[in-house]
Amino acid sequence: MPASTRHHKALAVFVHCLGILAAVPALPAVAPDPAAARARPAVAAPEPSPSESSPARLPSAPPAVPTPTRALPPPAKPPVTVAVAPAPTPAPAYRIHVRNTGNAPVDTTIRQELPAGAAPSVITAGGRASRMAGHSASEVTWRLKLPARSVTTLNTSLAPGPAGQAVTAPACAFTSDGNRPYDCATATWNAAPAAAPGPAGTPPWKQLPVLLGAVAGVLLLAGAGWWLWRRQRRRRPIVAAALASGGAPAGDPRQGRGTIYPRPASPRLVDRRRRPPVWLLTVVALAVLAGVAGLAGWTATRRVAAIDTDKQPTSGAWRGTGATGQVGVPLRETAFEFTVYRVACSAAGAASRRQCQATVGVRNLTPEHQAWHGELQRAYLPGGRWVTIDEPATRTANLGRDVFAQPVAAGSRLVLPLVFSVDGREPPKQLELRSGVFSAGVRVDVP
């Protein structure tokens, strides 16, 4: 065989071997489990593109899958809890049950805020009554050392107030320094139920729409009766003349003779319809117009009187209905139930600004965790101005914790201090609390 032919054949064999090696895929390092291969359904893998067959290819990023949001766990139960119940006495009285759930004694300060104008008559367990700085209300304070796993009962009685008036007096357990609240509770004392009086209001016969309607009805009936009487009076001579003539026309020889009834051939008298006089229609129209005008004026007056001009502009919110109440009364809005247990301001000194701390209970009434913001919580001053939460001072009062950083868990309840920095010597007149920007919120009057 010539040398050139041998060289061409060797080159052809070498190229053919290279093609076979390129066509055979790379074998895996570990053989797959036969049982797993039989259990796994056969899925045709897509043919890799030339760019994917490169050994230097980097692994692709995982798909963007949203992480499900988890509800926040409820807050830990405080070591000291408070429960307040009204006593069944003729005068306002309360029983405060303070429970230490821990295994060690706890030093605590109990404060019960009394409504404005109320004075305590009986205080047990060494409590002392004092007037709150800058407020017209007073409070009762106890300093106790609660034994481990114990329940302490405190009793307070107030001087009798106005009959039938409900009296609300919340109580809170604070740390030994009296700044950070453990827990709070509230109760409303009501007098013995008496016979429910009838609805107090203007008697029906003294109301303007009723009087106008009665006058219009009397005029209408009088006019209709007078018109019927005139019609009957005019009809009598015509009927008498027809009976006297016997129903025969004038000039008839039968006129004046007796007849036998019924007379089918006798002509029927044609009665001309009488219309009521113009003056009667005018009187009735004026009476109806006066009644309609009086009813419209009375309705407009009632609606205008129902408008509360003292409400703040934020009361017309987009979601829910706003609520207004006193300190210690639970007030519900769209998502939260707010209860203001205590509002205390620092003594007015030479400084232009002072801090007012409100002890607030927040309960999430929805099945989802809800976020809230400090900028939405306001304190209204006597001049009509308002201020928002002092976030650095609020964080300090909560031991460095930002209470607005995390949402409130579903169904949970928080008791925390909120601090407002105000100007002047007068305390805030009203607090406005809300869960969201479009929530109607609640307003609490500060005594």
* DSSP 8-state code for residue 313: G
Helix or strand (DSSP H, E) at 357: strand 353-364
Q: Taking residues 178-194, report their average pLDDT.
A: 83
> pLDDT tens digits for 256-274?
555 555 555 555 555 556 6
CA 121/CA 133 separation, integer angstroms? 21
Stronger pLDDT, 105 or 278, i.e. the higher one: 105
% helix, strand, coil for the chain, step of 5: 25, 25, 50
Report the distance separating Cα 274 and Cα 54, nearest Å.
112
**Angle at which helices 208-245 and 278-306 cross, to 10°:** 160
What's the pLDDT band for 65 if we cut at 50, 70, 90?
Answer: very low
Contact 401, 352 (CB under 8 A): no
Side chain identity at residue 425, one-letter code: R
Q: Among 393, 377, 390, 392, which residue's Cα sits nearest to residue 430?
A: 377
Q: Name the band, by pLDDT with cuts 50, 70 and 90, for residue 308.
A: very low
**Which of 119-133, 207-221, 250-264 has the largest mean confidence?**
119-133
Q: Which of 127-136, 254-263, 278-287 has the lowest mean pLDDT?
A: 254-263
- For 73-86, letters b (16+ CB in 10 Å) and e give eeeeeebbbbebeb
Three-state DSSP class for 338?
Answer: strand
Asked if residue 418 has pLDDT above 60, the reply is yes
Q: Residue 431: pLDDT band by 50, 70, 90 thresholds?
A: very high
Q: Which tens digits make up the pLDDT trace of 223-260? A: 787 777 777 777 666 655 555 555 555 555 555 555 55
Assigned CATH topology for domain 323-445: Immunoglobulin-like (2.60.40)
Using alpha carbons, select from 443, 367, 445, 378 the residue that is nearest to residue 407: 367
Q: Where are the beta strands (DSSP E) in 72-169?
A: 80-86, 93-100, 106-113, 120-123, 128-131, 138-146, 150-158, 167-168
Domains 80-189 and 323-445 share a fold: yes
Q: What is the model's pTM?
A: 0.58
The reported pLDDT for the residue numbered 315 is 44
User: Residue 34: what pLDDT?
Assistant: 47
CB 370 within 8 A of CB 406: no
Average pLDDT over residues 362-372: 91
pLDDT at residue 144, rounded to an integer: 92
* Contacts of the segment 138-141: beta carbons below 8 A, 24+ positions apart: 138/114, 139/111, 139/112, 139/113, 139/114, 139/342, 140/111, 140/112, 140/114, 141/109, 141/110, 141/111
**Pairing label, strands 138-146, 128-131:** antiparallel
Question: Residue ranges of the alpha helices (H) in 165-277?
Answer: 208-245
User: Could you report the per-residue pLDDT of 138-176, keeping only the tens digit for each?
Assistant: 889 999 999 999 999 999 999 887 666 888 999 999 998
pLDDT at 30: 46
Q: What is the DSSP letter of 206?
A: G
* Record: fold of 80-189: Immunoglobulin-like (2.60.40)
| Termini Cα distance of the chain | 122
Tens digit of pLDDT for each residue in 309-318? 444 444 444 6
State residue 364 phi and psi, 5-degree precision: -85, 115
Alpha-carbon gap, residue 417 to 392, rounded angstroms: 12
Residue 24's pLDDT is 54
> What residue type is 337 in one-letter code?
E
Q: What is the mean predicted confidence (pLDDT) over 387-411?
A: 91
Q: Please say if the pLDDT value at position 7 is more than 60.
A: no
Mean predicted lDDT score pLDDT of the chain: 75
Q: How confident is the model at residue 292 (pLDDT cuts 50, 70, 90)?
A: confident
Q: Cβ of 172: how many Cβ atoms within 10 Å?
A: 26
pLDDT at 242: 56
Burial of 388 (0-12, 13-18, 19+ CB in 10 A): middle
Report pLDDT for 45: 42
User: Residue type for 26, please?
Assistant: A
> Which of the two residues, 42 and 356, has the higher pLDDT score?
356
Nearest to 422, CA basis, from 414, 413, 431 = 431
Question: How confident is the model at residue 135, as a pLDDT?
Answer: 66
- Comparing C-alpha atoms, which of 207, 182, 144, 168 is closest to residue 328? 168
Model confidence at 120, pLDDT cuts 50, 70, 90, reads confident
> Domain spans of the chain?
80-189, 323-445
Other beta carbons within 10 Å of 117: 12
